[in-house]
Amino acid sequence: MPVVKSSREEAVDAIMREFRMSGYDGASLSRLSAATGLGKSSLYHYFPNGKEDMAKAAGERAAALVVEAVIEPLAAEGALKTRLQKATAGLSKFYHGGKTSCLVDLFTIGEANDAAPGLAKSMVDALLRALASVAEEAGHSKKEAKLVAEQAVIELEGSLVVSRAMGSTRPFQRMLSRLPGLILKTSK
Amino acid sequence: MPVVKSSREEAVDAIMREFRMSGYDGASLSRLSAATGLGKSSLYHYFPNGKEDMAKAAGERAAALVVEAVIEPLAAEGALKTRLQKATAGLSKFYHGGKTSCLVDLFTIGEANDAAPGLAKSMVDALLRALASVAEEAGHSKKEAKLVAEQAVIELEGSLVVSRAMGSTRPFQRMLSRLPGLILKTSK
DNA sequence: TCCAATATACCAATCGTTCGGTACAATGGA
DNA sequence: TCCATTGTACCGAACGATTGGTATATTGGA
């Protein structure tokens, strides 16, 4: 098991960071080059199809991080409440307390749609499935569970947008504190 | 009262549409030129500071439309429930049933921050104030009203993101049907 | 005649991309 | 063991196209 990250893995991390800061259209090759410390031409060594490949790699990396920080804790052993706490902590970490945007948002704007179609959809689908399964376990019907999961993702994405617009992480933090209740409560 | 829109007003509408489709970075001058049917020279005649001015004009236009479709109905005479219905209808119209994005989201990404700082914040602030005032009228305390308003904006923005990502307007529609209850209900 | 509005032509800068090439490590047959 | 070969990792320079923006000329209605 390699302790040292490969150069490519480091690059993907940096690229993901840049995309989450500037969006797809805003993340120019120059910026991506500066962010990775790799020359523009070197980027094409790791990502033969250029920006498109970089977006895909960034999306896959982000998805993997969400699985690790949120979905796996939810699927683990233990009390529901504890798992939900771990998942919200994971969300806070992944979104840096609300300071970093979500690629689901950024990759559904402008040219990103043509460059990497379906990428955002698959990301949100995975999250929806994981949340719905937990909501079902918490006592919701299959139908209710789906709605609860959707509501959770809506609040997640929305709180990130509002936090960004207001220049404050409070909306995101408040959303995190609401999340466990949203999924656990059975009363309508 | 002019029935015919001035050439500039028509241009602003088209520009707003283009920004809402492509985001700030994605809306190039060529696209804006094509969308308005105006040559670059004409665009710079109406918007001397170029893209930046266009973004401001689009933001102001969007804000005015939201005032007209949502905020004024909320502040009008009549039963609260009726006003909320009109406001949700206004939201549905402004966002084309969930098919069109929100500039609050798009203008907080990439270069837009530098070009038009504070634009998104002022937009979301106006909406928050209007919603909070209605929530207060519905029986919430000042503090609760603020939180309820924030929650409403979060769900609005979030449902637009999720709808975009899923390629379905259902999440937005469901959010609209939740909205009145969110603001009206006094029980915790 | 005036001036808002549009056209034509152009600019430097940057875009995403490709080219030709270097440095170095690993491989493998003689 | 030698060394030719191959693969990996990277780079600077340049590509054509497009970016946002400007300067100057022309048009046309009041």
Chain B interface includes A106 (CB < 8 A) = yes
Pair B112, B24: CB distance under 8 Å: yes
User: What is the rounded CA–CA span in Å between residue B153 and residue A183?
Assistant: 20
Q: Is the pLDDT of residue B160 over 80?
A: yes
Residue A175 inside a domain? The answer is yes
Residue B67 Cα, gap to closest chain A Cα (Å): 19
Pair B183, B135: CB distance under 8 Å: yes
Residue A2 inside a domain? The answer is no
| pLDDT at site A83 | 93
**In the predicted model, what is the mean pLDDT of chain A?**
92
Residue A34 inside a domain? The answer is yes
User: What is the rounded CA–CA span in Å between residue A11 and residue A2?
Assistant: 16
Share of chain A above pLDDT 70, in %: 95
State the SS3 of chain A: CCCCCCHHHHHHHHHHHHHHHHHHHHCCHHHHHHHHCCCHHHHHHHCCCCHHHHHHHHHHHHHHHHHHHHHHHHHCCCCHHHHHHHHHHHHHHHCHHHCCCCHHHHCCCCCHHHHCCCHHHHHHHHHHHHHHHHHHHCCCCHHHHHHHHHHHHHHHHHHHHHHHHHCCCHHHHHHHHHHHHHHHCCCC
Share of chain A above pLDDT 90, in %: 83
Whether B110 sits inside 8 A of A154 (CB atoms) is no
User: What is the rounded CA–CA span in Å between residue B57 and residue B69?
Assistant: 18
Q: Is the pLDDT of residue A188 over 70?
A: no
Name which of B108, B109, B154 is nearest A158 (Cβ-Cβ).
B154
**In the predicted model, what is the mean pLDDT of chain B?**
92
CA dihedral A74, A76, A80, A81 (to 10 degrees): -70
CA dihedral A167, A91, B128, A168 (to 10 degrees): -20
Whether A110 sits inside 8 A of B25 (CB atoms) is yes
Pair B165, A108: CB distance under 8 Å: yes
CATH of the domain at A147: 1.10.357.10
Q: Is the dihedral of CA A124, A145, B102, B168 positive or negative?
A: positive
DSSP class of residue B27 equals: -
Q: Is the CB of B42 under 7 A from strand C?
A: yes
Whether B165 sits inside 8 A of A109 (CB atoms) is no
Residue A1 inside a domain? The answer is no
Residue B1 inside a domain? The answer is no
Section A59-64 average pLDDT: 94
pLDDT tens per residue across span A25-58: 999 999 999 999 999 999 999 999 999 999 999 9
Report phi then psi at A122, rounded to 5. -65, -35
Q: Is the pLDDT of residue B186 over 70?
A: no
Residue A128 inside a domain? The answer is yes
Whether B108 sits inside 8 A of A171 (CB atoms) is no
pLDDT tens per residue across span B48-96: 999 999 999 999 999 999 999 998 998 888 898 899 999 999 999 999 9
Q: Is the CB of A30 under 7 A from strand C?
A: yes
Q: Is the CB of B38 under 7 A from strand C?
A: yes
Q: Which candidate, A105, A63, A65, A71, places its Cα nearest to that of A88?
A: A71
User: What is the rounded CA–CA span in Å between residue A102 and residue A68?
Assistant: 16
Q: How many residue contacts between A and B have a Cβ separation below 8 Å? A: 117
| Beta-carbon contacts of residue A33 (< 8 Å; ≥ 6 apart) | A39, A40, A43
* Bases along strand D below 7 A from a protein CB: 9-14, 18-25
Judged by C1' against the alpha carbon of A49, the nearest nucleotide is C17
* Bases along strand C below 7 A from a protein CB: 4-9, 14-20
Whether A104 sits inside 8 A of B174 (CB atoms) is no
Domain that residue B130 falls in: 7-184
Pair A40, A30: CB distance under 8 Å: yes
Chain A interface includes B164 (CB < 8 A) = yes
pLDDT tens per residue across span B124-155: 998 999 899 999 988 999 999 999 999 999 99
User: What is the rounded CA–CA span in Å between residue B121 and residue A21?
Assistant: 18
Please report, rounded to whole angstroms, the spatial distance between the CA atom of protein residue A19 and the C1' atom of nucleotide D6: 35
Whether B26 sits inside 8 A of A109 (CB atoms) is yes
> How many structural domains is chain B composed of?
1
Q: Is the pLDDT of residue A115 over 90?
A: no
The number of beta carbons lying within 10 Å of the beta carbon of residue B182 is 16
